[in-house]
Chains A and B, each alone.
Chain A
């Protein structure tokens, strides 16, 4: 690197001659174009724009020129340097793009790789189906009522108009808590339905009462494909002025439409329960064949055994004696109630064939139901 040569006749400075500047510029542009990668371009940049590059050296010579020559030479060198820098930047962008394209391809992975690092979880379908039924009714203004599973006989039977000798009070149907003497005369049972919650709701709440009572109930049946001693039930109770059996029918229809879709309906058949009068058995239209299998041997339906209807549970108009036991004036208020088993509902709605799969807790059964049902 040489210092500016002030002893030279400026006119005689070879490096600032137009030809020389043009040659420097051409050399630089050629080198830039020839740079094959970013590293080569870095070398080119140092060689043609660095402090020791011909154009930089030429630039330094300008100071030695007489004032009248400075402007012209400065303009010439400046234009050359500008062109070189521009070419460098363009080539930089070009080479970076090439590099990126190559590297991203090299970094490609197999996105189809499985990823079961953290095992998945799920809620039990009985819980989520119960939630869904609750949601149907809470959307209508009902509230969810609850009560204990170990329950006083008065709540489970007496207040519901079961006479003292009703067969449901037998040890073959009902689990009795052992009394202090070891016998079954404790006055306490495992609730056989969620109906005691209806009694509690009537005793605790202001009228009118519109509640839905989901929960676990117990009956002394052995576990088999269609029975379980511990099962989930949902009951509904509405007590208000002027409620009718037609309101019961409409509420049931609304529920099956909400759970199974448009066009579903229910049917009532007379039956007898102590806590309702009139009482009915409720059936819903078979959601699979919609009744079209009836009398149609070519299209048999397994779900309803070609009956067209599926038995759901019991319902009726709240027996005024139940209202009386809860201190509700049956002259002023009336109500309706229904109840059904969620397992059974689930077997229909989700095509489950064996009750044991629902109760045994095998994760292979529960997992596919996920968070909601």
Chain B
């Protein structure tokens, strides 16, 4: 909403010398977001006067037509270059002009030598086209009035020759630009902003809507409202005998220009003017072009209407339309129809509509037809229903005054019975909301200032003004008091919450996992969860892989990524690719985040009310409509896990590092993972580990399939891990038991076991442990050997077994017996033979 300071002053006596910046600061403090203050006519300096064209001589022989004119500028003429206006000799001035849109006798705007136009354009008498030009006849653009007209400004004939045009055209002004929040619809008018300014400066408001209006008399233009929910108030007035030649006066055009509207024709300009003044959108129909009574109803399916912008629109049964006997003639509150618009030359008889429409209906129609207008903007935020008759009256008055029309006596005023909204609240409610002590006096005064009627002492009965549809509850009133008293004056106090329990186990775990992985050299990435379904092909997933079932978005940002991730790996791999693409080599990345797994069958959550707590069953039904959203941890590795350097060779990141990352995560949850060989996309079929917590599969790790690294454009032999942290957490949580530490000496026995090459080391170790008994302190695989000595298809695994008793020094025989038992167990379970035996 653009608010010219000069216009605002018509309703509020702002203190002399107050600038736009001052008003901005006051209004901002009161809660209006005044974004900018535009300075109009900055740098403009006279003499700039009204001139009357006396003679025009067309100059020939130049590339473009040029006119040499004499212009009567009243007393301003004949001044020296340094002189001001009004001090001249009164002689006509000779001026050269390139425009042609004027005739002898026209009133024009003349800047004389010594004047300065916006843009620091200094005017002096100068020789041009063979003549000396003593000034310049100005165009709208040169004067900073807007740039939508060609040629020079031609003023109405009645303009007084020699008068100061800076004043006449209100060229110097300040315009506040206000971003109006949805709750302050009344501030989409000069009237509303003036009310705020009056409160801010503590001065009275001259309310432009306080007009004497005639009552409904049954002789006005007939109106039939078929849908009172959509339209509860409709005023129709008729003005006849308008002068079709009449144009909008300068002041009206200037005000429209300053608020950002283009002057069009007197009738349209007047309706726009009243809309900006009072906030009530109006529509003027050419009476000769409407047939029969005006109606308001919902559109019939398939009905069509060509709106003022020339577009033919197919109407929706929810659209509210204005009709006559021929059908729809306007989209109510949004835009009129082309058939009944005021003709270019003006209409002599017009019907004025000022109505109140349901905000939701207008918002939906505006949205449905992607059609916004100054009118719909106001209606959808809520207009003042009691302003329709005043706005119609104001329009009638202006048309009568400016275009010589006659107001017909007939007045149509249809209004559904309404009661003003009344809110009761304790007088100290604003104090209790704010946490400060305003006192009843202040509360009542502030509420009265915004237009409320206030009764009562301890319990206030507050009648809300019709222009504040946003005020419904005591807290709304509290906000009004607090903002007018100044948010900046609120005290600052710190509440004392009860003792909290700190982070949950799950939250602590997440932090530990992040720290552990970062400590192990991984860098955290936070990928977007949006994916295209082709990533599943790139990952090599089977057609029936569960991960292909996704939650899809109805309106994805990018149509190629319409789904939500079911695995963290695509995001991690594309982050890996981005980093390698930017020249990084040795990369270890991790991410902790949600994946989204749709329910077996999608159900729509119930529509629950908001006027009570939903029942537990209702909450459960909402929850059941949501996808499962477990938290995963993923890692990817490429390049060197350990770099080569002066210390010796490095080693590349391998499947073993990926599995170790999973163990690192699980250990933070107190879970020791079991690892089994498996086949699972996107992993290399021979280098893929299934990760188990107890019996439960919680994730996978290993080297990626070569086709996958190729498809994602990541380095060959990239390794990865993904684990479901929720599952890991659920299987952990057991508090560690303090071990009994034996101080007796350890007995060490090494064994080398030969097994078939495909026997997993984990099985051999498990068998050893099972057979060794309670004396075994640790079993560590320290070497693997293959070769001719061992035999084809066989391998030798060398373990260091450490035995220790809690209560005595083991004898050599005891240690040997335990070792033999371990070996025997391995022999039984894995067909192991003792190497060299």
List 10 A-B pairs, minimum CB-CB distance, nearest first: A327-B613, A244-B435, A270-B31, A246-B435, A278-B479, A184-B554, A141-B497, A361-B525, A210-B497, A361-B575
A272 x B524 contact (CB < 8 A): no
A138 contacts which of B498, B503, B518 (Cβ < 8 Å)? B503
A175-B555, A210-B500, A271-B181 known; A155+B622 contact, CB < 8 A: yes
B491 at the A interface (CB under 8 A): yes
Task: Give bound CA distance, A163 to B588, whole Å.
Answer: 47
User: What is the 8 Å Cβ interface bit string for chain B, positions 612-628, against chain A (1 contact, 0 not)?
Assistant: 11100001001101110
For B524, the closest partner residue in chain A by CB is: A124
Name, among A118, A242, A269, A363, the residue most crowded by chain B CB atoms within 10 Å (CB to CB). A363
- Which residues of A sit under 8 angstroms from B613, Cβ to Cβ? 203, 325-328
B363 at the A interface (CB under 8 A): yes
Q: Which of A41-49, A82-90, A95-103, A316-324 contacts B (4 or more CB under 8 A)?
A: A316-324
- Which residues of A sit under 8 angstroms from B28, Cβ to Cβ? 269
B727 at the A interface (CB under 8 A): no
Beyond contacts A250-B491, A271-B31: 13 other A-B pairs, Cβ-Cβ < 8 A, are A121-B521, A122-B523, A148-B626, A155-B622, A175-B555, A176-B555, A183-B554, A184-B554, A270-B487, A272-B183, A317-B433, A361-B525, A363-B523
CB distance from B358 to the nearest CB of A (A): 11
A245 contacts which of B367, B433, B623 (Cβ < 8 Å)? B433
Task: Give bound CA distance, A278 to B435, whole Å.
Answer: 13
Task: Give bound CA distance, A251 to B602, whole Å.
Answer: 42
Task: Give bound CA distance, A195 to B518, whole Å.
Answer: 31
Interface residues on A, range: 35 or more
Q: Which of B212-220, B644-652, B825-833 contacts A (4 or more CB under 8 A)?
A: B644-652
Task: Give bound CA distance, A114 to B650, whole Å.
Answer: 15
Q: Which residues of A are interface residues toward B (Cβ below 8 A)?
A: 113-124, 126-127, 131, 134, 138, 140-144, 146, 148-155, 158-159, 161, 163-165, 170-171, 175-180, 182-188, 190, 203, 208, 210, 216, 220, 222, 229-230, 238, 240, 242-247, 249-251, 253-254, 267-272, 277-280, 317, 319-321, 324-328, 334, 359-364, 366-367, 370-371
User: What is the 8 Å Cβ interface bit string for chain B, positions 597-608, against chain A (1 contact, 0 not)?
Assistant: 000001011011
B625 x A187 contact (CB < 8 A): yes
- Which residues of A sit under 8 angstroms from B436, Cβ to Cβ? 244, 246
A243 contacts which of B490, B495, B619 (Cβ < 8 Å)? B495
Interface residues contributed by chain B, number (CB under 8 Å) = 106
A321 x B610 contact (CB < 8 A): yes
For B504, the closest partner residue in chain A by CB is: A144
CB distance from A137 to the nearest CB of B (A): 9
A116-B643, A143-B501, A362-B578 known; A327+B626 contact, CB < 8 A: no
Name, among A142, A152, A325, the residue most crowded by chain B CB atoms within 10 Å (CB to CB). A152
Name, among B184, B515, B527, B622, the residue most crowded by chain A CB atoms within 10 Å (CB to CB). B622
A117-B645, A187-B607 known; A251+B494 contact, CB < 8 A: yes
Task: Give bound CA distance, A242 to B367, whole Å.
Answer: 42
A247 x B602 contact (CB < 8 A): no
Q: List 16 A-B contacts (CB under 8 A).
A: A121-B520, A121-B523, A140-B497, A140-B500, A152-B622, A154-B608, A158-B610, A176-B555, A177-B552, A188-B605, A240-B497, A245-B434, A246-B435, A278-B483, A364-B584, A370-B518
- Which residues of A sit under 8 angstroms from B33, Cβ to Cβ? 269, 271
Q: Which of B389-397, B408-416, B470-478 contacts A (4 or more CB under 8 A)?
A: B470-478
B500 x A117 contact (CB < 8 A): no
B497 x A253 contact (CB < 8 A): no
- Which residues of A sit under 8 angstroms from B18, Cβ to Cβ? none
A-contacting residues, B544-574, CB 8 Å: 551-557, 562, 564
A119-B588, A154-B622 known; A247+B642 contact, CB < 8 A: no
Task: Give bound CA distance, A254 to B492, whole Å.
Answer: 10
- Which residues of A sit under 8 angstroms from B487, Cβ to Cβ? 267-270, 280
Task: Give bound CA distance, A131 to B515, whole Å.
Answer: 12
A141 x B555 contact (CB < 8 A): no
CB distance from B184 to the nearest CB of A (A): 7
B514 contacts which of A123, A151, A244 (Cβ < 8 Å)? A123
For B510, the closest partner residue in chain A by CB is: A127
A220 x B557 contact (CB < 8 A): yes
- Which residues of B sit under 8 angstroms from A179, Cβ to Cβ? 554, 602, 604
- Which residues of A sit under 8 angstroms from B594, Cβ to Cβ? 148-149, 216
Task: Give bound CA distance, A86 to B679, whole Å.
Answer: 76
CB distance from A175 to the nearest CB of B (A): 5
- Which residues of B sit under 8 angstroms from A176, Cβ to Cβ? 553-555
B526 x A124 contact (CB < 8 A): yes
- Which residues of B sit under 8 angstroms from A185, Cβ to Cβ? 604
- Which residues of A sit under 8 angstroms from B626, Cβ to Cβ? 148, 150-152, 188
- Which residues of B sit under 8 angstroms from A367, Cβ to Cβ? 523
B554 x A210 contact (CB < 8 A): no
Task: Give bound CA distance, A176 to B604, whole Å.
Answer: 13
Task: Give bound CA distance, A344 to B115, whole Å.
Answer: 49
Task: Give bound CA distance, A250 to B436, whole Å.
Answer: 13
B525 contacts which of A124, A153, A320 (Cβ < 8 Å)? A124
B587 at the A interface (CB under 8 A): yes
A-contacting residues, B415-441, CB 8 Å: 432-436
A116 contacts which of B184, B552, B605, B645 (Cβ < 8 Å)? B645
Task: Give bound CA distance, A94 to B525, whole Å.
Answer: 61
B311 at the A interface (CB under 8 A): no
- Which residues of B sit under 8 angstroms from A320, Cβ to Cβ? 473-475
